């Protein structure tokens, strides 16, 4: 490359048209997934404090919201459920008439072109709020696997296109793959024990009643361990792997992208969304500009698809 003044990189930055012509990464509605939260009742839209625009919705309102998302160009949603009752094992997760199962059947009938992804975990359904069954006060990894597989099967029977286990139990991808040989699995492979989940735990009503999840979610300082987690999940039959959260772990997304040839997902979590929302509400920054910059950073790091609460806004902005 010739040095200045022959080389002037600013020449291609002079106008928006020129910048667009040479832009290296682009946001597309094809690449985003919108999380939705199904709750009991009818006509229920229960906003969540701190998560502007996000709400718990009854099945009829989930259908209404998803129809609008599909019309706006959103191609996929991720479903979470808030059950009427919880128990020690989280049995509401796999009931045929559970909240997610009802939402899936309604969405399959009313919004047939939408790709339906389900979060497979027990934390929203257990009375103690942990992601598996307890034995002597500890989450029992192996006893949880059958229940996760049972949950995944019930989701597919109700209409799910993709299942996404988020529990971080060892071996859960293999258990689900054995039960569902032909269904895509997006594994939450590198899910960190993060401070950025707070708002989500409010909307999903899934905060642990005691202790924390550091015994099964990943330790934030570790990167090589994330690569091992991804490798194991792929060996067990995952079709794609996810890094969660996204923004504090852009280096992990890049490391996963460089190591593996599979699709890589990233979850732009509730705390990341809430921070920008709060700063914008206080007049400290422009939400649209900050959100777009955040999302393109996730793509630039190597994510093929992004789970984000900004999906609906992105449809309008783009």
Active site residues: 191, 244
- Alpha-carbon distance 165 to 283, whole Å? 38
The pair of three-digit structure tokens given for residue 117, joined into one six-digit string: 């992804």
DSSP state of 219: P
Residue with tokens 């959100």: 291
Which residues touch 150 (CB under 8 Å, ≥6 apart)? Answer: 94, 179
Residue with tokens 């696997």: 145
DSSP string, 21-81: HT-S----GGGEEEEEEE-SSSS-EEEETTEEEEEEE-HHHHHHHHHHHHHHT--EEEEEE
Contact 299, 31 (CB under 8 A): yes
Of the candidates 242, 268, 205, the one whose C-alpha atom is nearest the C-alpha of residue 34 is 268
The pair of three-digit structure tokens given for residue 46, joined into one six-digit string: 């229960």
């Amino acid at each position: 490359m010739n040095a200045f003044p022959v080389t002037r990189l600013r020449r291609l930055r002079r106008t928006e048209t020129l910048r667009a012509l040479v832009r290296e990464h682009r946001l597309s509605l094809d690449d985003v997934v919108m999380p939705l939260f199904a709750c009991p009742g009818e006509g229920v839209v229960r906003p969540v404090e701190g998560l502007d625009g996000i709400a718990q919705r009854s099945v009829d309102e989930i259908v209404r919201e998803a129809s609008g998302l599909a019309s706006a160009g959103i191609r996929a949603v991720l479903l979470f459920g808030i059950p009427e009752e919880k128990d020690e094992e989280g049995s509401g997760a796999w009931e045929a008439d559970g909240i997610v199962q009802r939402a899936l059947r309604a969405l399959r009938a009313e919004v047939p072109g939408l790709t339906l992804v389900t979060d497979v975990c027990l934390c929203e359904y257990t009375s103690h709020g942990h992601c598996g069954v307890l034995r002597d006060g500890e989450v029992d990894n192996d006893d949880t696997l059958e229940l996760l597989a049972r949950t995944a099967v019930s989701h597919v029977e109700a209409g799910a296109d993709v299942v996404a286990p988020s529990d971080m139990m060892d071996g859960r991808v293999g258990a689900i793959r054995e039960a569902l040989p032909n269904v895509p699995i997006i594994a939450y492979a590198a899910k960190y024990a993060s401070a950025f989940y707070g708002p989500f735990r409010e909307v999903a009503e899934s905060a642990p009643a005691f202790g924390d999840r550091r015994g099964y979610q990943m330790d934030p300082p570790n990167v090589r361990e994330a690569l091992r987690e991804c490798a194991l999940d792929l060996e067990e039959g995952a079709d794609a792997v996810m890094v969660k959260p996204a923004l504090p772990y852009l280096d992990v997304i890049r490391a996963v992208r460089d190591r593996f040839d599979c699709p890589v997902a990233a979850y732009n979590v509730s705390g990341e969304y809430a921070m920008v929302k709060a700063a914008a509400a206080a007049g400290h920054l422009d939400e649209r500009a900050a959100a777009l910059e955040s999302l393109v950073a996730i793509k630039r790091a190597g994510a093929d698809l992004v789970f984000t609460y900004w999906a609906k806004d992105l449809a309008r902005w783009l």
